Chain A
Amino acid sequence: MARALINVPKIAKVGEIIEIKTLVSHPMETGYRVGLGGEILPRDIIQTFVCTFNGAQIYRADFSPAVAANPYLTFHTMLSESGAFEFRWEGDNDFLLVETASITVE
């Protein structure tokens, strides 16, 4: 079952501003809602998202219960060398999802 969709250009020029789009499948349960039986549904959210390029952090986001289900993030960066992105989402209930994508910079 697919958990994340990553959209990164395959090729970029040195110094070109590129857009990175990430969509992750997650319920982002707030911890404030009540279930059908009146019980509080326990919080289940992604807490952090980190994007690294060749090991260096280039983007980071902290999530809160107010973030909607299936968080969608876009951000921009400039690169000077080819390499690999790593995308890491971490959250409640030991949620951990890691995806990678490579790019050629010329």
Chain B
Amino acid sequence: MMRLRALVMATLAVPALAGEIPLAERRSDTLTMSSELRAMQADDAANPASFSVLDGEALWRVRAGASGKSCADCHGDGAQSMRGVAARYPAFDSASGRVLDLEAKINQCRTERQGSAALPMESRDLLGLATYVGRQSRGLPIVSDDPRLAPAIDRGRALFTARQGQLNLSCAICHDDHWGRKLGAATVPQAHPTAYPLYRLEWQSVGSLQRRLRNCMVGMRAEPYPMGSDEFIAIETYLMSRGRGLAMETPGVRP
């Protein structure tokens, strides 16, 4: 009887899948980086994403489109008006009834308010504006408390946990079940979206969270969703909900 109980306990203690990381154990992936990379991220004079922030700061005041208005003409000083905004994106947009991430929201403003063309995904200008807006939330906790986001969060969770691609992996198999362990020389991160857009040394440039997701999907040998798709925005929304409470670090640096 004792042996049977011990066996049952042992079986229970080694679950096949760990499931979602307990809230108290969720950490920024900055903490698993080398001290050199952390220093690079912390020092604005060494962080190469600073150029993107400065690009965005300059663009903020550039008039565009038929309206002849700049971001600053409506929103004023971005350092004040954009404080905390990126920490609650993706957000529900009442006008369109859709969930929009920060890049999509910037482009909605451009096309509908400024009367200008949408900026291409991953373009220097769009990344600059997103990094500049993101920078204004540095140090503030991620907020995900809008009940209207629930369908997107559920869909994102389903996509995050679904096996896909030729390697038959899900996002969760690495980032929920095996975070902190090694994949080759790299430490598997918990994958919290605290620092996007960020400078990735492998890219030699700044990139968005969607670029990072596409990168992972290619690595899993799955077909990536189109950039700007509802699937990617759902995963982004789920990741922000999963990382709620963690401090924003935009613009980050990653290996």
A residues in contact (CB < 8 Å) with B: 1-3, 5-7, 21, 23, 25, 27-28, 68-70, 72
Contacts of B40 on A, CB cut-off 8 Å?
72
> Is B201 positioned at the interface, with any CB of A under 8 Å from its CB?
yes
The interface on chain B, measured as residues whose beta carbon lies within 8 A of the other chain's beta carbons, has a size of 13
B residues in contact (CB < 8 Å) with A: 40, 44-46, 48, 50-51, 54-55, 58, 201, 204-205
The answer for the CA separation of A27 and B124 in the assembled complex, in Å, is: 13
Shortest Cβ gap from A34 to chain B (Å): 16
Closest residue of chain A to B124 (Cβ to Cβ) is A1
Interface of A is mostly: loop
Closest residue of chain A to B57 (Cβ to Cβ) is A2
Contacts of B55 on A, CB cut-off 8 Å?
1-2
Q: A69–B204 contact, CB under 8 A?
A: yes
Q: Which of B50, B58, B204, B205 contacts A23 (CB 8 A)?
A: B50
Q: B204–A27 contact, CB under 8 A?
A: yes
Q: B51–A2 contact, CB under 8 A?
A: yes
Q: Which of B50, B54, B201 contacts A68 (CB 8 A)?
A: B201
The answer for the CA separation of A68 and B201 in the assembled complex, in Å, is: 9
Q: List 15 A-B contacts (CB under 8 A).
A: A1-B54, A1-B58, A2-B50, A5-B45, A7-B45, A21-B46, A23-B45, A25-B48, A28-B204, A68-B201, A68-B204, A69-B205, A70-B48, A72-B40, A72-B46
